[in-house]
A and B are shown apart, each in its own frame.
Chain A
Amino acid sequence: MKGAAPVLFDAPGPRARRRHRVYGLLALAGALAVGAAVLLRLSEAGQFVGAMWEPFTYRGVQERVLRGVLDTLKAFGLAVVLSLVLGVLLATGRLSSHRWIRWPCAAVVEVFRALPLLILIFALYNMAGLRDAVEGFGNALRNGLGAPGDWLATHYATPTLWALAFGVALYNGAVHAELLRSGARAVGAGQWEAAYALGMRKRQVLSTVVLPQTVRAMLPGIMSQIVVTLKDTSLGFIIMYEELLYAGKLLAQNISTPYGYPYLPVLWVVGSLYVVMCLLLSLLARQIARPRNRREARVRS
């Protein structure tokens, strides 16, 4: 709508502009009134008493919140890496010319795309196999590597972390696979033919010619899916992975004030941290995906 003349309404003249300003101000006043009423209600309920907010000045509480942020980012990082690897594998599988590779990959993609992530994560969390494997791996690390292995085992060999990371990665990997596949379809037939004419093998064509172009063309979609991955990480709360929201809940439960537990103040702090993380990531995603920051997406042929 910027720049070009608006299509849906006539260009406003001076009177219309004045009228629009009145509408806008009325809406703003309404919003402010609702906001004020909310704040008033909350303060009547004792949510703005110093005792509710005082805990945030304690060093221990600040560290706990920070640890929650780091734990969220840890699960997020693992999930992103796993999902991208899985996405590339599944996409190449679906582009394979062998039926016995193509069909299983298609089935995996379709099933995991259609299942609610929460159902998947909860099932993974309750699978004895995954838990035993992770704990066994942790013990092996402890026995084999000494002190650094011990650190790794305590921080990375927790079943909840892997249930969350695998669940999020399976779902988002399936979505990445679909994005990459549709991108690969969009790479012109001439590209494939030229690569074959140069004597490349199928694997070389995919990995050196088609995939790079696909990734470049599909970057906006992939980046916005990575933002979704960060949001999905919050589901770890349900399986009691100690991410930001769960850390917040534990904090609130352990602080007692004359006005009850400070659930809302903690939610404000923890929630705004989470939203800011997502906003920053979205901003970064948009920056990376912006056309002028990418090289020409398609080679002219």
Chain B
Amino acid sequence: MHVLLDNLGLFRRGFVGTVQLTVVSATVALLLGGILTLFRIGPVPLLRAIGAGAVTLLCNTPLTLLFFGVTLGLPMLGLTDLSYFTLAVVALSAYSSAFLCEALRSGVNTVDTGQAEAARSLGLTFPQTALLVVLPQAGRAVLPPMSSVIITLAKNSALAGGFSVFEMFTVEKTLIEQGYAVTTVFLWVGLAYLVLIACISAVFRFLEWRLAVPR
């Protein structure tokens, strides 16, 4: 217990760091994943190919490698004033967006074809059909897989600690270096993640309940 109480400030800073990283990356990832999905279900063949290529590439890149590419590559391109936090957000959200795109795309298949047909017969264009009619319903259907992607994102955010962002992994590293018992530190840090993940799934359960429609 004293491990937690003696280092409450450290734990709080780390937890806030992890939460910020998760929330910001999840938002950016949702946006990117949505754009990728539009590319992949859209009528333009070349964009479909680009979307598919990007998703395959991102799904088969280890996150550690992506972190390296971003943290070494972007500063080399002249973007030297980006903070470590921003770089971590870029890597995490790019990685997660591919998985979100896969989830959303599988949701598009669950939407009744009549919906899209009705939208088209009203004269809606593809962006209108997708954004106003199909994707909102698809998103509702894929809330469970989406929540597991976001939970994975929260867990993956630990890697940012290895790339100079202050979050829970930094806390674990610092405390173990200070000589605290490994198991105790592990238990407390693990507990922090369990709390975070419980919160994320609670949010998604709430959304599921709120957005549920009788079919």
Contacts of B117 in A (CB 8 A): 7
Interface centre among A16, A23, A119, A267 (most CB of B within 10 A): A119
Give which listed residue, A118, A232, A234, contacts B169 with CB less than 8 A. Answer: A118
8 Å CB interface, A261-275 against B: 263-264, 267, 271, 274-275
B73 in contact with A264 (CB, 8 Å): yes
Name A238's closest neighbour in chain B (CB-CB).
B162
Q: Is the CB of B186 closer than 8 A to any CB of chain A?
A: yes
Q: Is the CB of A235 closer than 8 A to any CB of chain B?
A: yes
Contacts of A230 in B (CB 8 A): 62
Give which listed residue, A47, A233, A237, contacts B76 with CB less than 8 A. Answer: A47
Contacts of A10 in B (CB 8 A): 120
A119 in contact with B169 (CB, 8 Å): yes
Query: Which of these binds chain B: A24-32, A98-106, A290-298?
Result: A24-32
Interface centre among B50, B68, B161 (most CB of A within 10 A): B68
B43 in contact with A123 (CB, 8 Å): no
Number of interface residues, chain B, beta carbon within 8 A: 56
Q: Is the CB of B168 closer than 8 A to any CB of chain A?
A: yes
Q: Is the CB of A140 closer than 8 A to any CB of chain B?
A: no
Q: Is the CB of A58 closer than 8 A to any CB of chain B?
A: no
Number of interface residues, chain A, beta carbon within 8 A: 53
Name A28's closest neighbour in chain B (CB-CB).
B46
A122 in contact with B193 (CB, 8 Å): no
Name B125's closest neighbour in chain A (CB-CB).
A9
Chain B 58-84 near chain A by CB (<8 Å), digits 1 or 0: 011111110011001100111000000
Give which listed residue, A38, A227, A267, contacts B60 with CB less than 8 A. Answer: A227
**A237 vs B42: C-alpha distance when bound (angstroms):** 39
Q: Is the CB of B205 closer than 8 A to any CB of chain A?
A: no
Give which listed residue, A41, A117, A123, contacts B186 with CB less than 8 A. Answer: A123
Contacts of B134 in A (CB 8 A): 8
Q: Is the CB of A108 closer than 8 A to any CB of chain B?
A: no
Q: Is the CB of A202 closer than 8 A to any CB of chain B?
A: no
Q: Is the CB of B41 closer than 8 A to any CB of chain A?
A: yes
Q: Is the CB of B202 closer than 8 A to any CB of chain A?
A: no
Name B113's closest neighbour in chain A (CB-CB).
A7
Contacts of B28 in A (CB 8 A): none
**A238 vs B193: C-alpha distance when bound (angstroms):** 19
8 Å CB interface, A215-263 against B: 227, 230-235, 237-238, 245, 263
Q: Is the CB of B8 closer than 8 A to any CB of chain A?
A: no
A-B contact pairs, 23 of them (CB 8 A): A8-B134, A9-B129, A16-B43, A20-B43, A21-B46, A31-B50, A41-B78, A114-B151, A114-B194, A115-B193, A116-B158, A116-B168, A118-B161, A119-B190, A126-B176, A231-B60, A234-B65, A237-B64, A267-B65, A267-B68, A267-B72, A271-B65, A278-B61
Q: A118-B169, A231-B61, A278-B62 are in contact. List 15 more A-B contacts (CB 8 A).
A: A9-B42, A9-B129, A20-B46, A24-B47, A41-B78, A45-B76, A115-B155, A115-B190, A116-B157, A120-B186, A122-B173, A232-B62, A234-B63, A235-B159, A274-B61
Chain A residues in contact with chain B, CB under 8 A? Answer: 1, 6-10, 12, 16, 20-21, 23-25, 27-28, 31, 38, 41-42, 45, 47, 111, 114-120, 122-123, 126-128, 227, 230-235, 237-238, 245, 263-264, 267, 271, 274-275, 278-279, 282
